[in-house]
Each structure stands twice: as C-alpha cells, then as structure tokens.
Chains A and B, each alone.
Chain A
Amino acid sequence: MENMLYVNSSPHIRSEVTTQRLMLDVIIALIPAAFAGIYFFGFRAALLIAVTVISSVGFEYLIRKVLKRNNTIGDLSAAVTGFILALNLPPELPFWMAIVGSFFAIVIVKQLFGGLGYNFLNPALAARAFLIVSYGARMTTWTRPFTTAADIDSVSLATAADIDAVSFATPLGALKEGSNLPELMDMFLGNIGGSLGETSALALIIGGIYLIARSVISWHIPVIYIGTVGLLAWIMGPNGIFTGNPLFHILAGGLMLGAIFMATDYTTSPMTKKGTIIYAIGCGVLTMLFRLYTNMPEGVSYAILLMNVSVPMIDRCTKPARFGGKAHV
C-alpha cells in the first residue's frame, strides 16, 4: 500500500545515456584515426596507444585507491584520456615518456583537482604541453610515414645529423622553415609527418561525424573553430591579405584532432551556446596567431588550453537571464 503513494524527487525523466556510453562513443570515434596512425607509422603506433591507455587506466585506479575515493575506471574516461594522449604524441616517442604523460594527465590534472568533471584543463592536452616543454627534442622528432625508422631509440639524438636521419618536417614545420609543402591530398589522407593521430584529416572527420550523429558533441565547436582558422588563414596570407590558402591550415597540424576531440571536452568548454561560439572563435584566433606570429610551428594545443582556463569567465559572461530577471552583463 505504502508503495503506491511513493513519489520521488526530480529528475523524473531518465535517459539511457551514461558516462560510460559517452566515453565508449568517443573511443569508437577515435578508432579510424588510430587505424590511420598505425597504417602510416607502423606497429609501434599501436604499441604506443596501448601503453598510454593501460598506464592511464592504471594511474586512475591507483590514485583513486590512494585518495580513498571510489573506483572510476569503469566509466572509461581514463581510457579516453590515454587514447587521445597517444594520438597527440610523435609515433617514436620513448614509452616511458608516454607513461610520464599519462601520469601528468590523470594524477596531476584530473584526479588531484577532483576527478572527472572537475579538471580545469583537458588532461591529454595538458600532458602534451608538459611533455613538449620537458622533452622538446623528443616531442618534435617526427618520422616519415611508412619508414619504421630503424628503431629511433637506438639512435642517439646527440647531433643534428642524427636527428635529420630519422626526422621529417610536419607541414607547419615546413611552412616555418620555408621548405617544400606537401600535397593537400596527402594532408587530407594523412600521408605526412606529425603526431600519431593528427595527420589523417579524413579519419578524424569520420570520427567527428559519428560523434555528432550520436549527439555526443554538437557541431558548433568543431565547425566554428575550423571555420575561424580557415577564414583567418585566408585573410592573413603570406602575400598580403586574402592571399592565404585556408585548406592548408585546416588540414595541417593538430587542428582536426583538437577541434573535434579536445576542444569539445564537456568539462572544459562553456555551458551555453553563446559561450561555445565565443570559445570556438577564441580557439581559432589564438591558433592562427600562434601559427603565424610566434616561433612555434603549431599552436592548437596552447590555444585550446588557454581557452580552457577562460571557460569560467566565458560562462559567467554568458549566463542566461532568469525568467523575468535582468540579463547579466
């Protein structure tokens, strides 16, 4: 009898969407890019992905144990972080550096700030930035697709000649040096130098379409981010305004990977649609400023990290008005 009058508090509408399911969708969406990376850079790419995923999940398990919190490896978010981190690394990076990256992403950036939903930066990107600052030479040693590079670990990176023997400029690196640029078709398919999972725009777009179709992400951030980069690339061309090649900048570097998989992280992107648009435009503008006017070839990771930390500010400025209330700002 008592049960008949039982009314619990809201929410009354339930959905089948769980964190685990969302994360599984992201993993599925990353698979084409991972396959492209393995296809172009060989078996070691697969090993690198395995190392970061396993170490990320392991660190998540251990740190939750140490901090006496409940076990969260089942929600797959650590696996996603490890997966994305691997796609951000050069294919021949020593494994122990990748493990250090996983540690930084999971323990420092994610769990010490409270775990999933509380990280103030995208963990994988923060780990990439950490590795780039710490191990600059290794993190910018790119290998030519289809050459297994005769085990780069045995080559000491002591002299410039050694680095030249195995290295290969990324399209943006080539642009900075003024050397020959690769064909746009190669850049679209991924037959260029770069991080493991960033080279193949085609594979990343397939993953992005899957995510949008599954409503895991909305189209706003990737499309506006990439559109801003293309527009600015066209305007700020090398021979005066409106002479740039937007396609080159859209396909080069980590833009696709960043715009589709990392800028769209729920925790570190704004809550409102208006905020999202500001955020995506900001990412695009910063990316192009870094690419064209600094001495770094690539700026996607720093652009997204900078916009990550400004998300609380954007959220505050775009807070919608309460019904009948006054608008903020």
Chain B
Amino acid sequence: MAERKKSFSVLLNGLIKENPTFRLLLGMCPSLAVTTMAKNGLGMGAAATFVLVGSNLVISLIRKIVPDKVRIPAYITVIATFTTIVQLLMAALLPEINKQLGIFIPLIVVNCIIFARAEMFAQKNGPFLSVLDGLGMGAGFTLAITIIGSVREILGAGTWMGIPVTVNLFEPAIMFILPPGGFLVMGFLVALFNKLTNKKDRNAECETGCGVGCPGCSKAVNGGEA
C-alpha cells in the first residue's frame, strides 16, 4: 500500500509540486523559444517526455555499473541515443511539427530537465520509479509549455491549435509571438502558478532537511510564522 502511494506521488510530483518549468525553472530555452503556438508546445513536450522516460529507465538500470567519475559522459550518450531516436521518428511521422521545432529537437540532448532528473532521481532510484518520474516530469513540462504556447498563440495570433479564436474579432497583439512576449508570458505564468500553489507549500516540510539555507526551508519557516 505504501509502495503504491509512493509511486503515485512520484508520478504527480512533476505536475505541480516540482513542475520543471514553473517551479524548478529548468529547460527555459525551449520553453521560451518554441512556445509561439500551442501545437509546438505539445510536440516539444511529447518529444522531451519520450527522451525523459527512456533515459531515466536506462540510467537507473546502469546506475550501479557506471563509475561515478564518468557518469556524465555515460548519461550524455544515453540521452543522445534517445534524442536521435525521437528526432528521426518526428522527421518521419510528424514532418510539419519537426520543421517548426527545428534545432530544438536535437537540443533536447542538453536540456537541463533531462539531466536534472538523471542526476537527482534516476541515479538514486530503481527503474520503475524512474520511469514514473520521467512520465510525471514530462507531463509537467508538456503541460507548462502547452499553457505558455496557448496563451501566446491566443493573444499573439488569435488562434488556438491553429483554429481561429479571436483573430476575426480584433487584431491580435503580435508582440506575444515575438521573443519579448515569451518572456512576459513566462514570467507572469510563473508568478501565477506560484501564487496558486503557495498555500500547500506553507505546511510542507523541507524534504532535504538542510536547515535554513534552501528556499524550501525559508519558505516553510516564514510561512509558518505568517
């Protein structure tokens, strides 16, 4: 029972509590660059999820064989393998989205989310939990960049997933599909996300138990007093 509860919380962890984009602020580059359309966010998220699940699984399987000193090159090789697979798959099956995402598909190799999960999770946990973590994190990333993409597409192009929403009613503000709009939408969504999920955090205990140093602790302390 406890085991099942733990796997469930690992799966949900990436969605809200440690949402890679809104909470951990990892993988900012694709989050800002490809989110001009909701569809792009979905495609990018799916590709990253595939790589995350695959690399988390393999890395957790080989974690006891790989010597600590060479773990980074070993992980890179694993991640690059899965990235190549997803790149070729997308080129074959979804050429249109592949064209839109362009360089950002091969750049999944150096995406911080995948690396962070390999180092922080897959290296320390078994294959089953690591796959769940990859799924959860991937879902959280997909959710986040699809939301960013939706906001930017609706405001900046007046469409959603390519379907006209407001484009016939008034001129969309194209700033939102340009780089400044990306930063703006990103910043305000992070603020909003943290505002909405902050209440839960106040009662949360700091998991790492590191004392006063980390943001998690200070938040818990301040929140407790407030």
Contacts and interface: CB of A to CB of B under 8 A. Distances in A.
Asked if A and B are interacting partners, one says yes
Interface of A: 96-97, 100, 108, 112, 130, 133-136, 138
B180 A135 contact: no
Given A133-B178, A133-B180, A100 B188 contact: no
Given A133-B175, A133-B178, A133-B180, 7 more contacts: A100-B173, A112-B188, A134-B172, A134-B173, A135-B171, A135-B174, A136-B174
B175 A130 contact: yes
Nearest to B179: A133
Contact of A134 (B174, B188, B191): B174
Which size class do B's interface residues fall under? 10 to 19
Interface of B: 170-176, 178, 180, 184, 188, 191
Contacts of A112: 188, 191
Contacts of B178: 133
Contacts of A97: 171
A133 B173 CA distance: 8
Query: By CB atoms of chain B within 10 A, which of A96, A97, A134, A138 has the most?
Result: A134
A135 B175 CA distance: 8
Nearest to B156: A134
- B170, B173, B180, B188 interface centre (most CB from chain A within 10 Å): B173
Contacts of A135: 171, 173-174
A110 to B, nearest CB: 14
Q: What are the nearest 4 A-B pairs in CB distance?
A: A134-B173, A134-B175, A133-B175, A134-B174
Given A112-B188, A133-B178, A133-B180, A96 B173 contact: no
Nearest to A134: B173
A134 B170 CA distance: 12
Contacts of A136: 174
A136 B171 CA distance: 11
18 contacts: A96-B170, A97-B171, A100-B173, A108-B184, A108-B188, A112-B188, A112-B191, A130-B173, A130-B175, A133-B174, A133-B175, A134-B175, A134-B176, A135-B171, A135-B173, A135-B174, A136-B174, A138-B171
Nearest to B191: A112
Counting chain A CB atoms within 10 Å of each CB, the highest count among B170, B172, B175, B178 belongs to B175
Contacts of A138: 171
Contacts of A134: 172-176
A100 B170 CA distance: 12
Contacts of B172: 134
Contacts of B180: 133
A302 to B, nearest CB: 12
Nearest to A97: B171
B185 to A, nearest CB: 11
Contacts of B171: 97, 135, 138
A100 B174 CA distance: 13
Nearest to B172: A134
